[in-house]
Amino acid sequence: MTKTKKRKKDRSTLFAIFDIIVTVFSYFLAYLITNLFNKEYFVFSEEYVIMLLLIIPTWAILLQTFNLALIPRTRSYTSIFVNFMNFSAIGFALMFLYKHIFGLRLFSHYVIISFSIINLISLYAFRIFTYKVFKYFRANGHNISNIIIYADTTSKSFIDSIIEHKEWGFRILMIISDSLAIRQEYGETIRIYPDKINIKNLLDIDIIDEVIYSCAKIDEEKMHSLIEMCEEIGVTFRLRSHITGHSMVKTKLTHFNETPFITFKNTPKNNLALTWKSFTEFWISFLIVFLLSPLMLLISLLIKITSKGPIIFRQERVGLRGRKFYIYKFRTMVANAEDLKEKLMAQNESDGPTFKIKKDPRITFIGSVLRKTGLDELPQLFNVLKGEMSLIGPRPPLPKEVAKYERWHLRRLSVKPGITCTWQIIPNRNEVRFDNWMKLDIQYIDGWSIKKDLELFFRTIKTVFHGTGS
């Protein structure tokens, strides 16, 4: 896949946490305001603490349910406000319900009313502020999604809106259309391909985040084929009109401004949980780097003293949907390891495009210890801090390995790569057949949860201490 400028991810990892902080602030502000009217009546008691402890998880669930913890790309301010109004109305009703279910007799109705108003205004103001900030960054080329648009003569206004609203953060890489009007209008600035083009090849070669079908007339057979091709490699598919006869299990209604689309996603979609994953992984990585910095310094000295070459091994890898980046590891091999690799290809024990040898002669003594314990992976924590990797996720492959992938293998690139995953913690992992390794990664993607990540994290720590790595 071709190289593209690495896009900066919007830090939506913090928004769910910030929303809860804003909510707690609103709660105490509501109490202080009502307390001004009658200090004897509005006395802060344990009932107020109980209500706050009920509000925090309830608000977290409601924010996820209404998708309010995300920064929208194309929503109008009015539609965002309506969503927050619906959210606040349900929250308002639940607070009255909690008051009576838990017998909170001393908890004032006035606090509920004032809190609901203050919380609505505060959350909406915070979201609009962040929305404006991200509009600015997207308009300046950050957090961009690469898209392919299927278009006909009716699609012109939609294409114009994408081009005009740079703050939405979409880059049209190509348009697929047989329309002469479309070709004449956009042919000088955007690649135009005829409808007969092999979309499969385009998806395999270019870095594509979304495919958008914006034609008035829909060929249902072709549509199913497009959905399956996108699903196979984890690319988001959007359809401008209603489609029948296809499973809607992994779809949701989304909008470009006021234009509705049915969006097909086949990667983890629990937005609150994904936000929590990114947020916690960043700070866990930061904490580990801080705590283990003496150990990392010691390892660096041992590598430098015992063998020639750099301390850190830097290698190009393939990340999310084909985005390339450089992975960091402690060097565990001799300096000319890549040159020696060609001579050892006949001893390759892997049945796929990867290269694995149980007793690799290129590995140094210190390197064998680091590999066995997994400590050679520690510098990848900096890849996590840079946003290129996760703590838990499929391992990032080499570009030449990806070039040999079968099409269904590309699905493992539909999520951010990680330092450790299922394959890394199983005994005798180098004996696992390549296709089974790929299936383990895809099973991880399909069954992802915070609980599963925690299990893999602690099992990885166990592997480090037991020294059962390769």
For the stretch 361-416, pLDDT in tens is 888 899 888 988 888 999 999 999 998 999 999 999 999 889 889 888 888 898 89
> Which pTM does this prediction carry?
0.59
Considering only 86-100, 168-182, 265-279, which range has the smallest mean pLDDT? Answer: 265-279
Q: Is residue 6 part of a domain?
A: no
Say if residue 100 is in the same domain as residue 210: no
Q: Is residue 74 part of a domain?
A: yes
Q: Is residue 7 part of a domain?
A: no
Q: Average pLDDT, stretch 131-150?
A: 84
Boundary residue ending a domain (106, 139, 172): 139
Say if residue 302 is in the same domain as residue 415: yes
* Spatial contact of 295 and 113, defined as CB atoms under 8 Å apart: no
Say if residue 412 is in the same domain as residue 354: yes
Boundary residue ending a domain (118, 139, 160): 139
- Per-residue pLDDT at 258 exceeds 70: no
Which residues are registered as beta bridge partners of 284? none
Q: Is residue 419 part of a domain?
A: yes
At 2 the pLDDT is 32
- Per-residue pLDDT at 157 exceeds 80: yes
Q: Which carries the bigger pLDDT value, residue 75 or residue 396?
A: 396
Say if residue 281 is in the same domain as residue 260: no
Total number of domains constituting the chain: 3
Q: Is residue 251 part of a domain?
A: yes
Say if residue 177 is in the same domain as residue 315: no
SS3 207: coil
Say if residue 108 is in the same domain as residue 149: no
Say if residue 282 is in the same domain as residue 260: no
State pLDDT tens for residues 274-331.
777 887 888 889 999 999 999 999 999 999 999 888 999 999 999 998 899 999 999 9
Say if residue 174 is in the same domain as residue 119: no
In this structure, what token pair is assigned to residue 50? 């109980």
The residue segments making up the domain with residue 227 are 145-264
At 452 the pLDDT is 83
- Per-residue pLDDT at 6 exceeds 50: no
State the pLDDT confidence band at 253, using cuts at 50, 70 and 90: low
Which residues are registered as beta bridge partners of 237? 211, 264
Say if residue 150 is in the same domain as residue 133: no
425 burial type by CB count under 10 A (0-12 exposed, 13-18 middle, 19+ buried): buried
The DSSP code for 141 is T
Nearest to residue 134, comparing CAs of 11, 22, 269? 11
Say if residue 91 is in the same domain as residue 210: no
State pLDDT tens for residues 42-69.
677 888 999 999 999 889 888 877 777 7
Which CATH number is 251's domain given?
A: 3.40.50.150
Say if residue 193 is in the same domain as residue 336: no
Q: Is residue 95 part of a domain?
A: yes
Most confident of 88-97, 214-223, 255-264: 88-97
Q: Average pLDDT, stretch 122-145?
A: 84
State the pLDDT confidence band at 131, using cuts at 50, 70 and 90: confident
Say if residue 126 is in the same domain as residue 36: yes
The chain-wide mean pLDDT, for the chain, equals 83
Amino acid symbol at 276: W
Boundary residue ending a domain (122, 139, 156): 139
CA pseudo-torsion sign 450, 456, 460, 463: positive
Q: Is residue 288 part of a domain?
A: yes
